[in-house]
Amino acid sequence: MVDTKSKEGISFQDSLTSGEPLTHFFYEWQGERAVEPLLLIENGVTLWHEHIYTDEAYDNSYLWDLAKEIVEDHGDTPMYSWAEWVRYQITTGAFIPAQWDSRKAYPYKGLLISAIYFQEARRLCAQGNPERAWHLIALAYYHLGLNTGLSTRQNTSRAAKVMHAARTEKVRALVLGALDKVRRDGSARSMESAKDQVVELMREKHDQIKHWLNEFDTLVPEKTKGRTVAKQKNDVFVRIRNMLDNWSLPSGPYPDIAEAFSHFSKRKRTPPHAEAFNPRATSENVPIDESDFYLRLINFWDDGTVLTVKVSRNEDA
């Protein structure tokens, strides 16, 4: 067990900076030793996927299989080796994934390069050429590191979630209360009907809850209030009804509300207008460790033993 309190009594978690990887690998527990390149590759693949799984702002999982296609299709190059020619094109912006439709510069070059280099290094090891794989491994880790810190996009996304949660706290309490009544009444036969009845109950109780509704309405920026017709903005109840479409999804931002709505989905169907929830995954099928930890230390011993230490928030408390 790791000592999670410093001498000053400060939480061990407070000593970590935001955006650090969750997992760290150690190879010389029992002193100096050589480390096989294939082990470094597989650990790098794990770190790559861990970053993909924990990125709250953008789903880059497709880059792994894109890199696989690139590695499997070696072509002639006008200069450099094949691997360095691909890195040159990505670095200079000559190659951008088709999935990136923004006019802005592509910000995930490091993730794509590292995915290509890890897979190419593994291919070389399988062919019995580990000597040439070493510099590819080093560059793969380097480029992965370029994309592992919290980006501006991630920080912006996280801040927006926190702001939205604070803005809707009282409205969510009203929704849960209304859902409980709708469920006890037994009159809603579908999720869509439940959403409509929740809003109708709130309309009926407008005089009692208008303070909360006015507070929510004031916090919503004017530009996000939408319009039903050219000169008429959506009223607060229409906005709440629109939000319920997202809140009721299994992948929605508030699990307690999604669970409350699930009672009305007799066939456990997703509304036809909603996107299905697809967890991030690649053809590599790297497992997701869903246990509660904010730091994982994995130690490799000479005899093949692997010692894993996880530090959770409960232990830190």
The amino acid at 83: A
Q: DSSP assignment of 264-303, as one string?
A: T-TT-PPPTTSPPP-----TT-PPP--SS-SEEEEEE-TT
| DSSP state, residue 231 | T
Q: pLDDT per residue over 80-110, tens digit each?
A: 899 999 999 999 999 999 988 777 888 899 9
Could you tell me the pTM of the whole model?
0.60
In sequence order, what are the residues at sequence separation of 6 or more whose Cβ sits closer than 8 angstroms to the Cβ of residue 132?
Answer: 124
Kindly tell me if the per-residue pLDDT of 65 is higher than 60: yes
Contact 188, 264 (CB under 8 A): yes
Contact 93, 105 (CB under 8 A): yes
Kindly tell me if the per-residue pLDDT of 24 is higher than 90: yes
Kindly tell me if the per-residue pLDDT of 146 is higher than 80: yes
Kindly tell me if the per-residue pLDDT of 230 is higher than 80: no
Q: Quick check: helix, strand or coil at residue 136? A: helix
**Residue 304, H or E segment:** none
**Would the CA dihedral through 218, 224, 228, 232 be positive or negative?**
positive
Kindly tell me if the per-residue pLDDT of 243 is higher than 80: yes
Smallest CA-to-CA distance from 147 within 266, 76, 48 is with 48
Contact 44, 137 (CB under 8 A): yes
Q: pLDDT per residue over 161-212, tens digit each?
A: 666 777 788 888 889 888 988 888 888 888 899 999 999 998 988 888 888 8
CA dist 37 and 309 (Å) reads 23
Kindly tell me if the per-residue pLDDT of 227 is higher than 50: no
Banded model confidence at residue 268, pLDDT cuts 50, 70, 90? very low
How does the average pLDDT of the chain come out, rounded?
81
When mean pLDDT is compared over 202-206, 235-239, 305-309, the highest value belongs to 305-309
- Residue 271: predicted pLDDT: 38
CA dist 50 and 63 (Å) reads 14
